[in-house]
């Protein structure tokens, strides 16, 4: 047993013995409820440690799974780019081989050689005239074939430059190929679509298609880590209790948390955002109630000492608690129907695990700054709920007793609830793959955190600020 638990149990025994120090109970004959409360304290501490251990193991396992998935996705993306580069290189080599085979004359003659030399010497004039007049060549003359070879050579040279530019810019200019093909097509018309050059057009069209696919695959995923500070409140509706007044629960109380975000790009502006977060929610409330005294609950211990023993039900924002009320009274000064006033100050602390998915959109960018907004649907699990309260009992203006209690269980409470979350914020690019993010969120639960039979409902409302880092992969 830890020193903390030993001190707590010692405090319980000391407080109870102090209450009876003026009574003739005997120092060696303590009542049984002292031992019962000590045992309850030990069991609560063990249960709390067990729940925390299970939660942290689960959280570490989930974060590990997200990181492994990210590494696998990055490996697949690199493998895809390698295959595309290999395919483009193979196609280029095949086209060059076909051009070389086609350029070899099958029946060379002196006349054809002279004709080729003549055409070669005047190719600049022919090209200039074709460009100026946008002439469409017809027929299948040697002059037309030579002009087509010159055009194909120019296309080939510009295509090589395109491939070089594509490799140096990581497939970021898919329209470059189209800017090469369209002007040439408009100048030379149907002559470029002859059987000799149709294959070249198909080749560069394939390059353009490959460029578009690769540009989309080059969109980068992001993995982010953030810390958050939230202000939360409980919004309640419906009746609580006729005999009980519950107040101060609707004020805002602060809490902290940590979260992980994984962004999967859909387009250049929109990403799918998946989040996992752990946070602490605090709430305080004040409970005032009036009970009728019943002598049937008295346990007579001597002629002038009795133990008043009964269970008192407390309605809280998170559910219903049952408090064991044990007071030392004088049976000669109490009567049935006397009014027993009860006041309780309640502190509730919730540990919430949050899983969320939704979209995140880039609104606009200015330099290294980017403004983004999004919406997510969340599933929340209350992994731990601590209820600490201090009760005070009075009758006829006289204090009958005080009690400090800590309980980790609660009745009529939803441990799983849904919520909707809106977020907006700015990110600042620190490098090509790293950015700093700062934003805010608004969240409201979609279903009640209470399942009470009296139709009272509690909705969690939370505002939070987030600060974190995001890394692209």
pLDDT digits (tens, 9 = 90+) for 284-293: 999 888 888 9
Task: Of 143-152, 174-183, 214-223, 294-303, give the range with the top mean pLDDT.
Answer: 294-303
pLDDT of residue 104: 54
Report whether pLDDT(66) > 60.
yes
Cα–chain center distance at 59: 13
Tell me: pLDDT of 222 over 90: yes
Q: Which of the residue ranges 122-136, 248-262, 401-415 would you say has the lowest mean pLDDT?
A: 122-136
pLDDT for 200 equals 52
Residues 83-98, mean pLDDT to the nearest whole number: 73
CB burial readout 238-253, b (16+ within 10 A) else e? eebbeebebeebeeeb
27-31, 186-190, 414-418, range with the lowest pLDDT: 186-190
The pTM of this model reads: 0.56
CA torsion sign for 153, 158, 159, 160 is positive
For residue 353, give every residue at least 6 positions away whose Cβ sits within 8 Å of its Cβ, in sequence order, or none.
Answer: 55, 58, 59, 276, 277, 278, 380, 381, 383
What does the pLDDT read at residue 333?
86
Which sequence spans correspond to the domains of the chain? 1-104, 126-217, 219-472
% of the chain exceeding 90 in pLDDT: 30
Averaged pLDDT, 243-251: 81
Instruction: Work out the average pLDDT over 106-118.
Output: 52
- Please tell me the least confidently modeled range out of 6-20, 23-37, 170-184, 259-273: 170-184
Q: How many CA atoms lie within 13 A of 231 on its CB side?
A: 6
At residue 136, the pLDDT reads 43
* Average pLDDT value for the chain: 75
Mean pLDDT, residues 250-267: 94
Q: Which residues pair with 224 in a beta bridge?
A: 261, 470
Residue that wins the pLDDT comparison between 359 and 405: 359
pLDDT greater at residue 291 or residue 226: 226
Among 80-89, 134-143, 204-213, 427-436, the least confident range: 134-143
Q: Residue 175 CA to chain centroid, in angstroms?
A: 36
Q: How far is it, in rounded angstroms, from Cα 442 to Cα 355?
A: 15
Q: Worst-scoring range by mean pLDDT, 189-193, 241-245, 355-359? A: 189-193
Q: Using one digit for the tens of pLDDT, what is the confidence trace for 361-420?
A: 999 999 999 999 999 999 999 999 999 989 999 988 888 888 888 888 788 888 999 999
So what's the pLDDT on residue 441? 97
- More confident position, 141 or 466: 466
Band (232; pLDDT cuts 50, 70, 90):
very high
Write the CATH number of the domain with boundaries 219-472: 2.40.160.20
N-terminal to C-terminal alpha carbon distance within the chain: 48
């Amino acid at each position: 047993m830890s020193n903390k638990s030993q001190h707590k149990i010692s405090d319980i025994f000391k407080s109870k013995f102090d209450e009876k120090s003026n009574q003739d109970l005997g120092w060696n004959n303590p009542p049984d409820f002292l031992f019962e409360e000590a045992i309850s304290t030990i069991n609560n501490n063990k249960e709390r440690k067990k729940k925390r251990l299970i939660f942290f193991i689960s959280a570490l396992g989930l974060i590990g799974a997200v990181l492994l998935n990210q590494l696998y996705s990055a490996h697949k993306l690199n493998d895809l780019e390698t295959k595309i580069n290999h395919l483009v290189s193979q196609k280029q080599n095949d086209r060059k081989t076909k051009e070389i085979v086609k350029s070899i004359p099958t029946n060379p003659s002196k006349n054809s050689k002279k004709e080729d030399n003549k055409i070669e010497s005047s190719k600049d004039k022919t090209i200039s005239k074709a460009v100026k007049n946008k002439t469409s060549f017809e027929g299948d003359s040697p002059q037309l074939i030579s002009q087509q070879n010159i055009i194909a050579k120019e296309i080939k040279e510009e295509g090589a430059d395109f491939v070089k530019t594509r490799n140096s810019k990581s497939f970021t200019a898919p329209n470059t190929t189209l800017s090469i093909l369209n002007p040439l097509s408009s100048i030379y018309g149907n002559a470029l679509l002859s059987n000799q050059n149709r294959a070249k057009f198909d080749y560069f069209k394939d390059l353009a298609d490959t460029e578009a696919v690769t540009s989309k695959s080059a969109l980068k995923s992001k993995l982010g880590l953030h810390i958050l500070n939230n202000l939360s409140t409980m919004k309640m509706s419906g009746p609580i209790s006729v005999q009980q007044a519950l107040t101060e629960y609707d004020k805002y109380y602060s809490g902290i948390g940590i979260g992980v975000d994984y962004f999967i790009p859909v387009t250049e502006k929109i990403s799918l955002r998946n989040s996992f977060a752990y946070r602490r929610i605090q709430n305080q409330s004040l409970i005032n109630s009036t009970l009728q005294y019943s002598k049937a609950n008295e346990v007579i211990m001597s002629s002038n000492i009795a133990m008043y023993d009964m269970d008192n039900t407390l309605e809280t924002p998170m559910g219903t608690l049952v408090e064991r009320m044990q007071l030392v009274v004088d049976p000669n000064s109490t009567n049935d129907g006397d009014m027993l006033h009860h006041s309780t100050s309640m502190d509730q602390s919730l540990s919430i695990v949050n899983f969320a998915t939704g979209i995140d959109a880039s609104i606009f960018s200015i330099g290294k700054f980017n403004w983004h907004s999004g919406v997510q649907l969340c599933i929340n699990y209350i992994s731990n709920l601590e209820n600490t309260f201090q009760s005070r009992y009075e009758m006829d203006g006289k204090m009958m007793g005080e009690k400090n209690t800590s309980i980790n269980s609660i009745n009529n409470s939803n441990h799983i609830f849904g919520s909707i979350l809106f977020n907006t914020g700015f990110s600042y690019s620190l490098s090509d793959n790293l950015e700093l993010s700062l934003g805010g969120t608004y969240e409201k639960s979609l279903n009640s955190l209470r399942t009470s039979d009296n139709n009272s409902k509690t909705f969690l409302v939370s505002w939070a600020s987030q600060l974190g880092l995001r890394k692209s992969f």
